[in-house]
């Protein structure tokens, strides 16, 4: 789409506003749940959601990403509050972490996100989809011991994701189960093509209907012996008696501890983990974007830094871009960053004006909504697509999923990345040669052409190629196109050159400074060490 035809605010409003309502409904219990798991005041999660939506949404270059408190930081926050002694001191660390993120943005650290292979990113999306479904099943049955937004295998109640599925069978709440079944029916109906063709049903999102129906049934079930839903089955946002009481829930950091070294250690930890989670989510969100827009990673780090500074200043939890909210936004039809900003505004207005209404929403209704989000992230067709790409893509993909489900987000991604790197090394080692000893004819020179970028990853390949060269040969090592050759590779070539005297091998090395080649050189199989890089070819031509 050309810039002239790019839709403006009014054109995207009809998509962004309904999407923001769905994201808002999903975000409320997640914000509260993560605050609960972090050992922080519940309202701090709402503050982080508000700042993540309005502030980060305004400064971010991401059109579909939604930021807020992240489950991956819950343990770090819990430990930090205990070690620092108070929540106010911890808020100072959050403020400082924002400054560090801004510095990382100016230092162009956002490039780190581009080094994660596609198989790992897609595995992260599918893994989160699987864990969302598994984590929401107990809530769907009315067993709400684990906090909303949890993504870790081990839970604060001493259970884990899988054992929770057994314990829930002993505490099924019939009212919650009925609401879940009805909600799923509504969502499935809303996904039918004939429903999507109707303008009214396109404007009124299925999740909004699900929440309204859930509130209605919770009121109908109220007081019933078997079907009644208790406070633990509902959203539980803090209720202020007045507007002044609402603003009284905002907390300010304790700047008297600015020289406490422990604060800086906490700030660095939060900044690094939050930045890494943001960059991974950013990459995943761009892949989910129907328009395939690319978000400036360094700008995103700066936006997150501004958000964390403000969140820390007014009593909020640390902020990252969050894949659950972002994918919900995309699936709900969000078109621009205004959906994220609107969701933050809704959090602010509803938390201040109608918290009693929000507290009527059953968690079972939200579980049904998240079931659909999880399913779309981990569709069976995605597994088939990755399998067709081969084992080098499928294995890291599966390892990432299993790692996320059985540990947590960052550990799962780390495992997937490790396996992906192993395949890179393995494929590099076994890469076929252009030199075949069986085709060699005595007296004919052998030409080995090095590629533009030769790193230590190619040591095994080069070493094996040189070791297969027959005695009494004439060898030309052509490095005229090489822009960068790792010192490890240089040492291997120097060692071969030294050893060649004892094997009666005549070695000629052609460098970029002396690119002339002898005439009549027959090119046998050449060790192809790296893939061509068009950008570096342009640099090479420019230098010549």
- What value does the mean pLDDT take over residues 371-391? 94
pLDDT at 452: 76
pLDDT tens sequence across 200-248? 777 788 999 999 999 999 999 998 889 999 999 999 998 887 888 888 8
Average pLDDT of the chain is: 86
Output the six-digit token pair for 39. Answer: 């050992």
pLDDT at 327: 95
pLDDT tens sequence across 120-168? 999 999 999 999 999 999 999 999 888 888 888 988 878 899 999 999 9
pLDDT tens sequence across 480-496? 888 888 888 888 888 88
Distances (CA, A) of 249 to 188, 202, 237, 358: 39, 37, 12, 18
pLDDT at 278 over 90: yes
CA distance 411 to 407: 6
> 357 or 478, which is more confident?
357
Strand pairing report for 67-69 and 319-321? antiparallel
CB 327 within 8 A of CB 374: no
pLDDT at 519 over 60: no
- What value does the mean pLDDT take over residues 325-347? 95
pLDDT at 535: 41
- What is the pLDDT confidence band of residue 114, given thresholds at 50, 70 and 90? confident
Q: Among the listed ranges 75-89, 191-205, 471-485, which one has the minimum average pLDDT value?
A: 191-205
pLDDT at 357 over 80: yes
pLDDT at 541: 29
pLDDT at 368 over 50: yes
Fold classified for 437-543: Transcription Regulator spoIIAA (3.30.750)
- What is the pLDDT confidence band of residue 523, given thresholds at 50, 70 and 90? very low
pLDDT tens sequence across 9-46? 777 888 899 999 999 999 999 999 999 999 999 999 99
pLDDT at 511: 79
Return the domain boundaries, the chain.
Answer: 14-388, 399-429, 437-543
pLDDT at 128: 94
Q: Among the listed ranges 179-188, 231-240, 340-349, which one has the minimum average pLDDT value?
A: 231-240
Q: Where are the alpha helices (H) located in 152-225, listed in sequence order?
A: 161-167, 174-190, 193-196, 199-203, 206-221
CB 347 within 8 A of CB 28: yes
CA distance 207 to 212: 9
Tokens 């990403």 belong to residue: 65
pLDDT at 512: 64
Size of the chain, expressed as the number of residues it contains: 544
């Amino acid at each position: 789409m050309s810039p002239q035809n790019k839709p403006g605010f009014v054109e995207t409003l009809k998509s962004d506003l309904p999407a923001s309502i769905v994201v808002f409904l999903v975000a409320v219990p997640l914000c509260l749940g993560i605050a609960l798991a972090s050992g922080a005041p519940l309202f701090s999660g709402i503050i982080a959601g508000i700042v993540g939506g309005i502030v980060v949404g305004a400064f971010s270059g991401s059109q579909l990403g939604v930021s807020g408190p992240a489950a991956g930081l819950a343990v770090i926050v819990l430990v930090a509050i205990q070690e620092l002694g108070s929540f106010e001191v911890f808020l100072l660390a959050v403020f400082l972490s924002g400054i560090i993120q801004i510095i990382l943005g100016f230092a162009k650290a956002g490039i780190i996100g581009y080094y994660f292979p596609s198989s790992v990113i897609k595995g992260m999306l599918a893994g989160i989809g699987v864990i969302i479904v598994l984590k929401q099943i107990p809530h769907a049955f009315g067993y709400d011991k684990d906090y909303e937004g949890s993504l870790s295998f081990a839970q604060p109640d001493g259970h884990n994701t899988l054992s929770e599925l057994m314990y829930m069978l002993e505490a099924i709440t019939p009212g919650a189960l009925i609401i879940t079944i009805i909600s799923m029916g509504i969502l499935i109906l809303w996904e039918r093509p004939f429903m999507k063709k109707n303008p009214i049903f396109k404007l009124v999102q299925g999740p909004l209907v699900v929440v309204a129906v859930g509130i209605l049934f919770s009121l109908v079930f109220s007081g019933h012996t078997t079907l009644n839903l208790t406070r633990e089955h509902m959203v539980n946002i803090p209720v202020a008696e007045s507007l002044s009481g609402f603003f009284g829930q905002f907390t300010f950091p304790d700047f008297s501890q600015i020289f406490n070294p422990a604060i800086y250690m906490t700030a660095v930890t939060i900044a690094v983990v939050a930045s890494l989670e943001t960059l991974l989510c950013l990459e995943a969100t761009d892949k989910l974007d129907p328009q395939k827009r690319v978000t400036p990673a360094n700008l995103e780090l700066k936006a997150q830094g501004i958000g964390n500074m403000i969140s820390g200043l007014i009593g909020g939890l640390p902020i990252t871009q969050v894949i659950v909210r972002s994918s919900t936004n995309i699936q709900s039809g969000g078109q621009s960053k205004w959906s994220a900003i609107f969701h933050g505004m809704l959090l602010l207005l509803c938390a201040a004006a109608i918290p009693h209404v929000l507290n009527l929403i059953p968690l079972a209704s939200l579980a049904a909504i998240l079931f659909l989000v999880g399913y779309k992230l981990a569709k069976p067709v995605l597994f088939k697509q990755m399998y067709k790409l081969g084992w080098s893509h499928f294995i890291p993909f599966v390892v990432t999923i299993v790692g996320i489900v059985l540990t947590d987000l960052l550990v799962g991604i780390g495992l997937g990345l490790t396996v992906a790197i192993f395949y890179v090394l393995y494929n590099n080692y076994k890469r076929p040669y252009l030199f075949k000893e069986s085709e060699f004819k005595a007296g004919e020179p052998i030409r080995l052409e090095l590629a533009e970028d030769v790193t230590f990853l190619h040591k095994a390949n080069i070493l094996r190629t040189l070791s297969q060269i027959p005695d009494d040969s004439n060898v030309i090592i052509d490095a005229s196109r090489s822009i960068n050759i790792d010192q490890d590779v240089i040492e291997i070539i120097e060692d071969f050159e030294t050893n060649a005297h004892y094997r009666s091998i005549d070695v000629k090395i052609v460098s970029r400074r002396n690119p002339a080649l002898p005439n009549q050189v027959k090119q046998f199989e050449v060790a192809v060490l790296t893939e061509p890089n068009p950008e570096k070819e342009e640099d090479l031509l420019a230098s010549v």
